[in-house]
């Protein structure tokens, strides 16, 4: 018989808060780096990934609150 390893219970609320922090940091970086194409472009890319995380984590975290 094999031992089954269960994944850790994710703390979705904490992850949602961290994702929101990352989003704010990237928005601040984008503002600070206005006029620097590499900063502007990479900030847009990072924000696209943040939005994917928000959909994947934020929505389930909100459902847990209900």
For the chain, the domain total comes to: 1
Q: What does the alpha-carbon distance between residue 44 and residue 46 come to, in Å, rounded to a whole number? A: 6
Domain membership flag for residue 46? yes
User: In terms of residues, how long is the chain?
Assistant: 66
**pTM assigned to the model:** 0.76
Residue 41 lies in a domain: yes
Residue 4 lies in a domain: no
- Asked whether 43 and 30 are in contact (CB, 8 A), the reply is yes
The range of the structural domain enclosing residue 59 comes to 35-66
Domain assignment present for residue 59? The answer is yes
**Does residue 2 belong to any structural domain of this protein?**
no
- Give the pLDDT of the chain (66 residues) as one tens digit per residue: 455 545 566 788 899 999 999 999 999 999 999 999 999 999 999 999 999 999 988 777 776 666
């Amino acid at each position: 018989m094999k031992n089954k390893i269960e994944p850790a219970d994710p703390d979705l609320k904490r992850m949602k808060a961290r994702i929101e922090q990352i989003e704010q940091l990237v928005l601040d970086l984008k503002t600070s780096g206005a006029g620097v194409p590499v900063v502007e472009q990479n900030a847009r890319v990072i924000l696209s990934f943040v939005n994917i995380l928000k959909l994947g984590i934020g929505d389930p975290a909100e459902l847990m609150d209900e």
